[in-house]
């Protein structure tokens, strides 16, 4: 979604900010803009479209050289995609320039009020209201702090803001409420951004702002206060992201790079979460005790994380015998919960910033339920607001289509299910040791699957002109079918459906003809025979079958047009091995169709609006 970066220091602000904007590109956006402060005047340039449109415009219409500025990538919510609605927004008298992530819920009320005070609005955005409100309060008694405090307390909704004030060329005001904002601490320079990728090049020392905080960022000093104006003490953390994490390296796209990083993710989690061939995810004794007291689990998540949740349900129910429901966050957060204190809510999210999932966890809290988060980003809102957190250690995921984070989520849920089953006495020691040994060999098996990259590219050549693709899986690999379909939809814009193989005959079978590619995920599992029957049903209707199966599977081979052989693993690990070829299939299909898999149209990396 939208991205913010602000800089005050000694370097050329325009270049720091445009590089920062490029780093934020992956989050999804439809316009971009930049403002710098020079000689008591704020200069703004903004353009609908991609950042290179803005860069072209900056060549035409130079900005004055300056060492302070703010910039933004906008993902439209209020008002269409055009130059005027792009951020930054100047206040009527040019005193403030504002960039904003989030939504102001009471903007029409505030706008109406300001119009009565002779404010005229140029854009259709909620953000311009913030700029004018701040200016209106400031002009009242020329007290900046008072004006900021009045403004933030009148705004309802979610907002991360970076603000330039024309009377101070050593100040960026940053404000956070329900939308992330991070301060990057440099030497004689400081930055503010909605995502640390925007400033990693300059510094790895960061302060994560909490909700309801304001920061005054200067070249040599950063201060914090709360929305009542009381000073807040903050400490910085050192970001241990590798320099190359936000770079594509030799890969043409982040999505491909991240698919190839999956063996590393699995190995990292194996190392962190196992000791002496046993899972040790529940080292925190309070968490262990809490989990043992729970008789029901509700998983809430969105998109790919929801699919990981479905795998978690199968495994937790099988290994630990605890009933699990999986709900879309967007549904879970708005319904009445019939749950008691023996229910645990698990919120799964790569970014930890998905608005629906945050709302879901807050809803759970309103009911007094304990929340365990499974997230990738430690500093995220979901990580901070949950009672317990388990990290998936996937590293920065830049591609909008989640790949390595999914693998991390599924792996962590697998370990959690296994450990719960073990401590409940349902899985004996020797069985757990065997299972962990199988997990240890997983990275090697994934490497083998990655060697199929060109074979999968050839299969993509056979399907990339199709209008529809169907994905079928059963049992543990039903979520794989859903995830395979989501991946191809997101990055190649081909309509795809994922279905439980056994359910297909109850309706979707009517779609099958010689033009429909049907991807059947059927590695050796307890669902094998039944899925084979579904494959026969598709074959009998002349569907073109692409199968994801284990080596030497003659029965599936007979009904398949194209085959992707994956190494055999124990059933509980098949959701990890069988999704990898589907990620590659989606990737190559997208590239063949001329789509950018890293930045699919209309999508954002983390969906921070409800």
490 is an interface residue for ligand AGP by CB under 6 A: yes
Alpha-carbon distance of 258 to 358, in angstroms, equals 25
- Minimum Å gap between C-beta 357 and ligand AGP is 5
| Distance (Å, whole) CA 427 – CA 16 | 55
CB of 569 to ligand AGP, least distance (A): 23
* Nearest distance from C-beta of residue 503 to ligand AGP, angstroms: 22
Q: Is 354 in the site for ligand AGP (CB under 6 A)?
A: yes
The piece of 395-403, 445-453, 496-504, 518-526 that touches ligand AGP (CB under 6 A) is 395-403
Piece in contact with ligand AGP (CB under 6 A), picked from 215-223, 250-258, 399-407, 432-440: 399-407
Residues 263-302 binding ligand AGP (CB under 6 A) are 302
Taking the least distance from each CB to ligand AGP, the nearer of 92 and 402 is 402
Residue whose beta carbon is closest to ligand AGP? 303
Put residue 489 in one of left, alpha, beta given phi > 0 → left and psi -120 to 50 → alpha. alpha
Least separation, in Å, of the C-beta of 231 and ligand AGP? 33
Residue with smaller CB distance to ligand AGP, 164 or 347 = 347
531 binds ligand AGP (CB under 6 A): no
Closest CA to 258 of 482, 586, 496: 586
- Per DSSP, the residues of 340-408 read -TTEEEEEEESSS--HHHHHHHHHHHHTT-EEEEEES-TTSHHHHHSSEEEE-------SSS--HHHHH
Binders of ligand AGP: how many residues, by CB under 6 A?
15
CA distance 34 to 51: 10
Q: 265: Cβ–Cβ under 8 A, 6 or more apart, which residues?
A: 392, 393, 394, 395, 404, 407, 408, 411
Residue (360 or 517) nearer to ligand AGP, CB: 360
User: CA-CA distance, 523 to 545, in Å (whole number)?
Assistant: 15
Cβ proximity of 459 and 520 under 8 Å: no
Q: Is 196 in the site for ligand AGP (CB under 6 A)?
A: no
Complex with ligand AGP: residue 68 or 405, whichever CB lies closer: 405
- Going by C-alpha positions, the residue among 26, 69, 77 that lies closest to residue 50 is 26
* Cβ contacts of 243 within 8 Å, gap of 6 or more: 200
Residue from 186, 303, 479, 523 binding ligand AGP (CB under 6 A): 303
**Main-chain phi, psi angles of 492, to 5 degrees:** -115, -5
Answer yes or no: are the C-beta atoms of 446 and 571 closer than 8 Å.
no
Q: How far is the CB of 403 from ligand AGP (least distance, A)?
A: 8
Quick one: DSSP state of residue 61?
A: S
C-alpha angle with apex 580: 373 to 573, nearest 5 degrees? 65
Contact with ligand AGP (CB under 6 A): which of 304, 330, 492, 560?
304
Task: Assess 66 for contact with ligand AGP (CB under 6 A).
Answer: no
Length reported for the chain: 610
- Tell me if residue 211 falls in helix, strand or coil: coil
Q: Please confirm, yes or no, whether 595 is among the known catalytic residues.
A: no
Compute the distance between CA of residue 69 and CA of residue 438 in angstroms, rounded to an integer. Answer: 53
Beta strands in 522-589 (DSSP E): 544-550, 562-566
- What does the DSSP 8-state code read for residue 40? T
CB 583 → ligand AGP: shortest distance, Å?
10
The catalytically annotated residue of 166, 313, 489, 605 is 605
Decide if residue 305 touches ligand AGP (CB under 6 A): yes
Give the interface segment with ligand AGP, choosing from 74-82, 350-358, 508-516, 527-535 (CB under 6 A). Answer: 350-358
* Residue 313: both structure tokens together: 């349900």
Q: Is 347 exposed, middle or buried (0-12, 13-18, 19+ CB in 10 A)?
A: buried
d(CA 59, CA 76): 25
Pick between residue 202 and residue 307 the one whose CB is nearest to ligand AGP.
Answer: 307
Q: Which of 66, 402, 411, 550 binds ligand AGP (CB under 6 A)?
A: 402
Q: How far is the CB of 332 from ligand AGP (least distance, A)?
A: 13
From the CB of 118, what's the least distance to ligand AGP, in Å? Answer: 42
Residue 400, interface with ligand AGP (CB under 6 A)? yes
Nearer to ligand AGP by Cβ, of 354 and 477: the residue is 354
Rg (CA), the chain: 26
Q: Is 411 in the site for ligand AGP (CB under 6 A)?
A: no
Residue numbers 580-599 binding ligand AGP by CB under 6 A: none
Binding piece for ligand AGP, criterion CB under 6 A, among 137-145, 348-356, 474-482, 576-584: 348-356
Near ligand AGP by CB under 6 A: residue from 132, 534, 589, 606 = 606
Q: Which of 349, 534, 547, 577 binds ligand AGP (CB under 6 A)?
A: 349
- For the record, the structure tokens of 206 come out as 């960061």
- CB closer to ligand AGP out of 364 and 401: 401
Residue 607 binds ligand AGP (CB under 6 A):
yes
d(CA 245, CA 243): 6
Q: Residue with structure tokens 């705004």?
A: 155
CB of 57 closer than 8 Å to CB of 86: no
Which residues of this protein are in contact with ligand AGP, per CB under 6 A?
A: 302-305, 349-351, 354, 357, 400-402, 490, 606-607
Query: Which residues have a catalytic role annotated?
Result: 2, 605
């Amino acid at each position: 979604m939208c991205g913010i970066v602000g800089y005050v220091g000694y370097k050329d602000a325009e270049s720091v900010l445009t590089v920062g904007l490029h780093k934020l590109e992956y989050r999804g956006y439809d316009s971009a803009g930049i403002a710098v402060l020079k000689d008591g005047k704020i200069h703004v340039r903004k353009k609908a479209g991609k950042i290179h449109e803005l860069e072209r415009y900056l060549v035409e219409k130079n900005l004055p050289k300056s060492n302070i500025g703010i910039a933004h990538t906008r993902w439209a919510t209020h008002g269409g995609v055009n130059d005027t609605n792009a951020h930054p927004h100047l206040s009527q008298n040019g005193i403030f320039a504002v960039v904003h992530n989030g939504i102001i819920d009471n903007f029409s009320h505030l706008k109406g009020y300001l119009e009565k005070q002779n404010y005229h609005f140029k854009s259709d955005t909620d953000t311009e209201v913030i700029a004018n409100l701040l200016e209106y309060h400031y002009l009242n008694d020329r007290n900046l702090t008072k004006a900021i405090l009045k403004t933030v307390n009148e705004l309802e909704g979610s907002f991360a803001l970076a603000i330039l004030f024309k009377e101070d060329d050593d100040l960026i005001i940053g404000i956070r409420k329900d939308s992330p904002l991070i301060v990057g601490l440099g030497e004689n320079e400081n930055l503010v951004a909605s995502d640390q990728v925007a400033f990693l090049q300059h510094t790895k020392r960061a302060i994560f702002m909490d909700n309801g905080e304001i920061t005054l960022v200067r070249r040599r000093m950063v201060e914090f206060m709360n929305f009542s104006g009381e000073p807040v003490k903050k400490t910085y953390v050192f970001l241990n992201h590798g320099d190359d994490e936000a770079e594509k390296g030799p890969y043409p796209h982040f999505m491909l790079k991240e698919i190839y990083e999956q063996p590393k993710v699995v190995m990292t989690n194996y190392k962190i979460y196992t000791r002496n061939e046993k899972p040790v995810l529940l080292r925190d004794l309070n968490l262990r005790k809490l989990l043992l007291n729970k008789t029901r689990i509700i998983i809430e998540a969105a998109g790919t994380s929801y699919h990981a949740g479905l795998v978690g349900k199968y495994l937790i129910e099988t290994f630990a015998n605890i009933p699990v429901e999986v709900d879309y966050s967007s549904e879970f957060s708005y319904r009445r919960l019939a749950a008691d204190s023996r229910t645990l809510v698990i919120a799964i999210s790569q970014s930890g910033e998905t608005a629906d999932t945050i709302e879901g966890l807050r809803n759970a809290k309103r009911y007094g339920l304990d929340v365990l988060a499974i997230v990738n980003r430690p500093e995220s809102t979901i990580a901070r607001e949950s009672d317990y957190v388990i990290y998936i250690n996937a590293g920065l995921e830049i591609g909008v289509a989640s790949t390595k984070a999914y693998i991390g989520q599924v792996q962590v849920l697998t370990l959690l299910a296994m450990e719960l089953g073990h401590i409940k006495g349902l899985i004996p020691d020797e069985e757990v040791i065997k299972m962990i040994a199988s997990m240890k060999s997983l990275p090697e098996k994934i490497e083998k699957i990655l060697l199929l990259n060109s074979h999968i590219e050839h299969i993509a050549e056979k399907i990339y002109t199709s209008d529809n693709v169907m994905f079928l899986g059963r049992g543990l690999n039903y979520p794989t079918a859903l995830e395979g379909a989501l991946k191809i939809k997101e990055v190649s814009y081909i309509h795809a459906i994922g279905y439980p193989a056994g359910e297909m005959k109850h309706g979707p079978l009517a779609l099958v003809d010689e033009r429909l590619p049907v991807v059947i995920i059927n590695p050796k599992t307890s669902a094998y025979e039944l899925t084979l029957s579904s494959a026969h049903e598709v074959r009998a209707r002349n569907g073109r079958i692409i199968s994801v199966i284990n080596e030497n599977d003659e029965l599936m081979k007979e009904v398949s047009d194209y085959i992707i052989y994956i190494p055999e693993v124990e059933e509980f690990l098949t959701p990890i091995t069988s999704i990898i070829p589907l990620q590659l299939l989606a990737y190559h299909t997208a590239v063949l169709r001329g789509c950018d898999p890293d930045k699919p149209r209309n999508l954002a990396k983390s969906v921070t609006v409800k």
